[in-house]
């Protein structure tokens, strides 16, 4: 953890959103190099991106499952209609 992140945590405002907001906007504290501060910002951005990707993947999986179920039911319904039509034609 960089000095900027330590300062935020020790201040008592330690919710994750507060830490992310303050550390991404923080200037390098004394003792932090610019490289350490940029690496910290990149790690935070990567964590945010990973969470949103997981949510999108889960949402896409649910939508595909729903569409697959709906398509299967539609095909079964059409098959039943066709079988009834064939039975009616055979009776005549």
pLDDT digits (tens, 9 = 90+) for 28-80: 555 556 566 666 777 777 777 766 677 777 788 888 899 999 999 999 999 99
Distance CA 66, CA 77 (A): 17
| For range 10-15, the mean pLDDT | 56
Q: Which carries the bigger pLDDT value, residue 21 or residue 83?
A: 83
> What is the pLDDT at residue 40?
74
Please check whether residue 40 is in contact with residue 19, taking contact to mean a CB–CB distance below 8 angstroms.
Answer: no
Strand intervals (E) in the chain: none
CA atoms within 13 A on the CB side of 87: 6
Alpha-carbon span 54 to 59, nearest angstrom = 9
pTM above threshold 0.85: no
């Amino acid at each position: 953890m960089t000095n900027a992140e330590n300062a935020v945590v020790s201040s008592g405002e330690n919710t994750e959103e507060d830490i992310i907001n303050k550390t991404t906007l923080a200037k390098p504290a004394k003792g932090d190099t610019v490289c350490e501060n940029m690496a910290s910002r990149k790690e935070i951005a990567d964590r945010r991106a990973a969470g949103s990707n997981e949510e999108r993947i889960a949402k896409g999986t649910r939508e595909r499952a729903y569409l697959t179920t709906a398509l299967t039911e539609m095909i079964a319904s059409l098959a039943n209609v066709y079988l009834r039509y064939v039975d009616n034609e055979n009776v005549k």
